[in-house]
Amino acid sequence: MAKNAQKKTLKAQNMTQLAIFASGAGSNADKIMDYFKDSDRIKVALIVCNKPGAGVLEIAKKWGIEAILIEKQGFFSEKSCILALKQHKIDFIVLAGFLWKVPEVLVAAYPQRIINIHPALLPKYGGKGMYGDKVHAAVIAAGEAESGITIHYVNEHYDEGNIIFQAKCPIEVGDTPADLATKIHALEHAHFAKVVEGLLV
Ligand code: GAR
């Protein structure tokens, strides 16, 4: 084996391999892949997506990272997702705009090794159906003066696992859900990859 290839293989053996589950535009996935692109400790090895045509699939292509599309039946009833994760030697799972509830079988297969980002200050404004602009609209309608992001471990209940990290931003009078989404994305992009790194290195 050529020296460089050998070096690469050795490097890969010591790496923590991440899978990012995402089904939206994928801006968080993009930031995470950028952050770890030269890392010799953490590698984004797989994108798991449940939405054909989602922006994150193009982003995976841009970074040359394999993406798999899953469908609900297989994800819930069989262990096909777990098999795929094991095949790709995935150690840790990051949910970045993934809206399905993670099935118990997957939580059990990756105990304390699945984290999610939520675009509000949990425990408020979480749960089934609370995602993206719906969250921001609810926060603004409630007259909150601030919102933020929560990164938390995933358990079998929506948005209820132990909180790892939160960061806040102010809400100004007249802010729309789109304005708040911009502030929240900025917080996510600034913190998410660093929090992942802090958990793994
Ligand atoms: C992010 O704001 C994330 O917090 C949110 O979806 C967005 C995905 O953006 N997740 C949820 O609402 C989960 N309940 P992205 O596709 O640009 O990374």
Q: What is the CATH number of the domain that holds 157?
A: 3.40.50.170
Statement to judge: residues 131 and 93 lie in one domain = no
Ligand 1 centroid from CA 156, angstroms: 19
Residues known to be catalytic: 118
The residue that leads in pLDDT, 66 or 77, is 66
In this prediction, what percent of the chain has a pLDDT beyond 70? 92
Ligand 1 centroid from CA 18, angstroms: 18
**End position of a domain, from candidates 64, 79, 111:** 111
Statement to judge: residues 16 and 44 lie in one domain = yes
Q: Which of 81, 68, 133, 128 is nearest to 108 (CA)?
A: 81
List, in sequence order, the alpha helices (H) in the chain. 3-13, 27-35, 55-63, 72-77, 80-87, 104-109, 132-141, 177-200
Write out the residue range of the structural domain in which residue 174 sits: 117-201
* Residue 5 pLDDT > 70: no
pTM, rounded to two decimals: 0.93
- Total domains in the chain come to 2
pLDDT, tens digit, 9 for 90 and up, residues 144-186: 999 999 999 999 888 999 999 999 999 999 999 999 999 999 9
Residue of 35, 114, 116, 118 to mutate, ligand 1, most atoms within 8 A of C-beta? 118
Q: For ligand 1, say whether the CB of 177 is within 6 Å of any of its atoms.
A: no
**End position of a domain, from candidates 82, 111, 140:** 111
* Residue 12 pLDDT > 60: no
For residue 191, give Cα distances in angstroms to 28, 151, 197.
10, 9, 10
